[in-house]
Amino acid sequence: MSNHHSQRSSQQFELFASTAPGLESIAAGELKALGVKGRQEPGGVAFEGDIERVYLANLWLRTASRVILRLGRFHASTFYELERRAKKLPWSNFLSDIGSVEVRVTCRKSRLYHSDAVAERVLDAIREVSPGVSLTVGNEEAGEDTAESSKPTQLFVVRIVDDQCEISADTSGELLHRRGYRKEVAKAPLRETLAAAMILASGWQKNEPLLDPMCGSGTIPIEAALLGRRIAPGLAREFQFMNWKSFDRRLWEETVSRAREAIIDRSLAIKAADRDAGAIEAATRNAERAGVTADIQFAEQPISASLSALAEPERGDGWLLSNPPYGIRLDENSDLRNLYATVGFALSQSRGWRIGVLTPDAGPARQLGLPLRSRFATQNGGIPVNFLVSEKAQATKVRPGKETTRTAISEA
């Protein structure tokens, strides 16, 4: 048994952690912290590893959307070639006895350009090894989430570019931003992966105070608490690889057990506020599900009241991290410029505090009156956004006429 166990976990795979555009370098940094050397590519990070690394990446990555495993790469300029090569792939290792299969196809600059016809041939190859499985065709551009269903759906991703075909198996199942704690959302919710990216890219240290004065359903403070306590984001959920015939339960249990041992009990100075009582109730319940209620102080209060906390003599420097309303989503009439000016004034009175905001438009952010640098650019709910961060308070001298909000992305 132990010999079989070590033999299986030593097989090396080509893996890819997909991310939202702009978050590749942050996910690469996360992999590096796990001892994995990754290669950044548009839309994610490529890396190699055994099955244990598949388990680790799913359990620990905070900014990735999913982890896929490459089954094969080959030349295919005819359907005959595609069928012949596809039938040789080890499909049965990545299928469950129950459940369905979805195939998503993209074809570019290739003789095989009809994605539905490609999907049908790939499904035929899967049918040969697993006649009982129910099959559906998806389109890779159709979106990230697979249909909700009580049965596990195994997603296979097929990409044909310049007649080179790559076929991969999704290892994650539901997208990784679904940690399991956020059952309730406030208006204009922020994805957990994006909240984690903001925290990691800001440079917030676990011993520093953190405030989100517009916390909504609490995603930023909850993600900060998980990070601060070193709680693996995937501890409370299931993954697609658990349905595979090749699933190594013992190895997975060891991986989870090590993650539980890694959790640290430290006191964090995280404050979260919102003027909406419903948002604070939802945020508190979400924090409870995430197991971090004791790490966050929630308050139902207007922004002026939560900003007064900046004047408190807390431990060293602090961070105000937030995803303020965009105007294009929530209340169109809300005076965003006024909101940013209020925040900027409060920060200017509080030495040592820095700000990180996610914003679609540098205009309102200029009202902060602080030199800002973009740490990453991505999309939130289909809206292009920039994560802007202020320099240390001691270094906030702005040279006259210098445009600071459009500085090139750096230090991401």
253 in any annotated domain: no
pLDDT value at residue 391? 80
Say if residue 19 is in the same domain as residue 60: yes
Q: Which domain holds residue 107?
A: 2-170
Coil vs helix vs strand at 403: coil
pLDDT in tens, 29-47: 999 999 999 999 999 999 9
Average pLDDT for 216-238: 97
For residues 15 and 11, what is the distance between their CA atoms, to the nearest angstrom? 12
Using alpha carbons only, give the angle 40, 53, 258 rounded to the nearest 5 degrees: 125
Q: How many structural domains does the chain have?
A: 2
Flag whether 98 is in a domain: yes
**Are 101 and 143 within one domain?**
yes
Could you tell me if residue 292 is inside a domain? Answer: yes
Q: What is the mean pLDDT of residues 152-166?
A: 92
294 part of a folded domain: yes
Same domain, 106 and 208: no
| pLDDT of 379 over the 90 cut | yes
Is the residue at 99 inside a domain? yes
Q: Which residue has the higher pLDDT, 92 or 198?
A: 198
**Whether 217 and 352 share a structural domain:** yes
- Average per-residue pLDDT for the chain: 86
Residues 159 and 205 in one domain: no
The three-class DSSP label of residue 146 is: coil
The DSSP result for 62-75, as a single string, is SSEEEEEEEEEEEE
Identify the burial level of 316 via C-beta atoms within 10 angstroms of its C-beta, where 0-12 means exposed, 13-18 middle and 19 or more buried. Answer: exposed
Beta strands in 184-329 (DSSP E): 210-212, 270-274, 296-300, 318-322
In a domain, 184, yes or no: no
> What DSSP designation does 147 have?
P
Contact 410, 54 (CB under 8 A): no
Domain holding 36: CATH number? 3.30.2130.30
Residue 250 inside a domain? The answer is: no
Domain shared by 158 and 292, yes or no = no
pLDDT tens per residue, range 254-288 = 999 999 999 999 999 999 999 999 999 999 999 99
Average pLDDT for residues 219-223, to the nearest whole number?
Answer: 98
More confidently predicted of 122 and 364: 122
- Give the contacts of 169 (CB within 8 A, at least 6 positions apart): 68, 69, 71, 94, 154, 155, 156, 157
